[in-house]
Structure 1
Amino acid sequence: MIKTLHVALFVVAFALPIPFGALAQGSSAAAEPPTQSELPNWLRRGLPGPGHEVLAPMIGTWRVQMSFYGTLGRSPDQPPLVTDDLISHRQWLAGGRYIEDIMEGTLDGAPVWRKGWLGYSIMDGRYEWVTIDPVNTTMMYFKGVPNSGDQRPIGMSGTFTDQGVAGEETVGKQVGMRTVIKIENNDRHIIELYFTRPGQQETLATRAVYTRLKA
């Protein structure tokens, strides 16, 4: 029981955030949010900042028109598969430190689902993006250049070991990938994914146009 309580207090202190000293002073102290100057330095450095504010227009519910070019086993020179039957739901997590993105719908009659987490690493000075889906068993990790700051458009890169989504010729090989986020305004933004196959030039893999759904 005591161990469980300690774990709960540890989680609460990170999520609110509230310094451990306030928790020890009783419920009245814990109910009053501390000022930044009252937080210990190690906790204050993890507070959301300007890099997170850049992402604020992406929160909400979106209709997504997505074009698939050089992915899903298709060659980059084939006509793209296009769907506008996708919906993306985004919300802040962990006190405004990360965005959770859940996208689902259909493509050519088949279900589409993807979940991702987007954030800004203050200590590294870069954006970071990780996704999972029911096609790959590999998590896709994207990171901006260290100390690139809250640049726009947002650019993040990574690599993955291909199972064939980029083509049979790249199965088992490392494929470079790059995500570019272009926030045009509060109601529209574009996310592009590029692949770089071994020994080839970078090509567009997907292009998604997000339009805000309003109540």
Structure 2
Amino acid sequence: MEDYYKALGVSLHAGKEEIREAYKEKAKIYNPDNEDTRKQFILINHAYEILTDDQKRIKYDQEYILSKQQDVTGVKRRKGATFSYLLNGALVFALIGVWYSNQNHNSVLEKRYGKLEQVYKDLKSTLSDVQDENITLTQKNSDLQSQLDKMPVVAASTSEETGADGIDIGVSQEDVRRIMGTPSSVTKLGSTEIWNYGLSSVTFSNSKVDGWRNFDNNLKLK
């Protein structure tokens, strides 16, 4: 899944004001009319929309933390399987060394066996380090789950009122165009459209207002 926190350069605990400032800085860098930065501009707009909406952010954070837990579990499984394979391989080499020692190659094979024994000890030490790391990752999983459990549930608020006198949730594109005039640029992503008025913008979902960013204080809000 997309990492919206990484896209805006903020932490999981960032507040709305910090997210707003981070978005403003990114918006100055990425130009929606530039093909090279268009996708990044869409990404940070989507990130800002999700992370500044309490209900949407709660849902995203739940999926985000779950994906991090799955990543950690995958790392533990891969590391555990890799070192188990290495330990088994070391044991096979040790047995080969014993067999050769019975073939009257004592002097040479004792040195080889000594090296294999050292390799085996090194692998056991490495495995111990991995087990310690697994304990640390498990603790991080627990902390992430604890954070998820403490997140408040906020009811979503929407409005179907017609914004005849100003921009509001649910207002049609026709009303926004009548109120604000033609946007300086339009960015489309599926059923989502972003109308830009300088640094300010209005986001539409299925041709209805879904949110806005009034950075220039030029939007006529209801």
Taking structure 1 as the reference length, what is the TM-score of the superposition? 0.18
Structure number with bigger Rg: 2
Structure having the larger proportion of residues in strand = 1
RCO comparison, higher one (Cα < 8 Å, 6+): 1
Structure having the larger proportion of residues in helix = 2
